[in-house]
Structure 1
Amino acid sequence: MPTPTDAASAGAAAHDLRHHGDAEVREGDLTDLAVNVRADTPPAWLKARIAASLDTLAAYPDGRAARAAVAERHGLPVERVLLTAGAAEAFVLLARALPVRRPVVVHPQFTEPEAALRDAGHEVGRVLLREEDGFRLDPADVPEDADLVVIGNPTNPTSVLHPADTITRLARPGRTLVVDEAFMDAVPGEPQALAGRTDVPGLVVLRSLTKTWGLAGLRIGYALAGPGTIGALERAQPLWPVSAPALTAAQACVGPAALAEATRAAHRVAADRAHLLAGLAEFEEVRAVEAAEGPFVLVRMARADAVRVRLRSLGFAVRRGDTFPGLGPEWLRLAVRDRATTGRFLQALDQALTLVGR
Structure 2
Amino acid sequence: MTTVTITTATTTGRTPMRTEDHGLSHDLRHHGDAEVRDDGSALVDLAVNVRADTPPPWLRARIADSLTGLAAYPDGRAARAAVAARHGLPVERVLLTAGAAEAFVLLARALKVRQPVVVHPQFTEPEAALRDAGHTVDRVLLSATDGFRLDPAAVPEDADLVVIGNPTNPTSVLHPADAIARLARPGRTLVVDEAFMDAVPGEREALAGRTDVPGLVVLRSLTKTWGLAGLRIGYVLAAPETIAELERAQPLWPVSTPALAAAAACVEPRALAEAGHAAHRIAADRAHLVAGLREFAPEGLTVAEPAEGPFVLVRLPNAAGVRRRLRDLGFAVRRGDTFPGLDDGWLRLAVRDRATVNSFLQALDRALVASA
TM-score normalised according to structure 1 size: 0.98
* Correspondence list, 1:1-358, <5 A: 2=9, 10-11=22-23, 13-26=24-37, 27=39, 28-284=41-297, 285-357=300-372
Matched-pair identity in %: 80
Q: Deviations over 1:317-358 (max 9, x none)?
A: 00000000000000000000000000000000000000011x
Amino acid in structure 2 at the alignment position of 1:349: L
Residue 2 of structure 1, CA deviation: 2.1
Pick closer, same or farther for the CA change 1:5–1:104 going to 2, 3 Å: farther
When the two chains are superposed, the root-mean-square deviation of aligned CA atoms in Å is 1.0
Q: Deviations over 1:101-144 (max 9, x none)?
A: 00000000000000000000000000000001110000000000
Comparing 1-10 with 29-38, greater Cα deviation is found at: 1-10
Residue 290 of structure 1, CA deviation: 1.8
Query: Gaps (5+ residues) in structure 1?
Result: none
Cα distance in 2 for residues equivalent to 1:7 and 1:101: 18
Cα distance in 2 for residues equivalent to 1:7 and 1:120: 22
SS in 2 for 1:302: coil
**C-alpha contact 2:9 2:17 (8 A) present in aligned 1:** no
**C-alpha contact 1:2 1:128 (8 A) present in aligned 2:** yes
Amino acid in structure 2 at the alignment position of 1:317: A
SS in 1 for 2:201: coil
Residue 8 of structure 1, CA deviation: 5.6
TM-score normalised according to structure 2 size: 0.94
Residue 176 of structure 1, CA deviation: 0.0
Q: How many residues align?
A: 356
Pick closer, same or farther for the CA change 1:64–1:38 going to 2, 3 Å: same
Amino acid in structure 2 at the alignment position of 1:205: V
Residue 10 of structure 1, CA deviation: 2.1
Residue 7 of structure 1, CA deviation: 7.3
Residue 6 of structure 1, CA deviation: 5.7
**C-alpha contact 1:5 1:126 (8 A) present in aligned 2:** no
Q: Deviations over 1:261-295 (max 9, x none)?
A: 00000000000000000000000221001210000
Cα distance in 2 for residues equivalent to 1:286 and 1:308: 13
Amino acid in structure 1 at the alignment position of 2:26: H
Query: Gaps (5+ residues) in structure 2?
Result: 1-7, 11-15
SS in 2 for 1:189: helix
Q: Deviations over 1:176-235 (max 9, x none)?
A: 000000000000001100000000000000000000000000000000000000000000
**C-alpha contact 2:9 2:155 (8 A) present in aligned 1:** no
Cα distance in 2 for residues equivalent to 1:324 and 1:262: 28
Pick closer, same or farther for the CA change 1:2–1:142 going to 2, 3 Å: same
Cα distance in 1 for residues equivalent to 2:321 and 2:295: 20
Q: Deviations over 1:34-60 (max 9, x none)?
A: 000000000000000001100000000
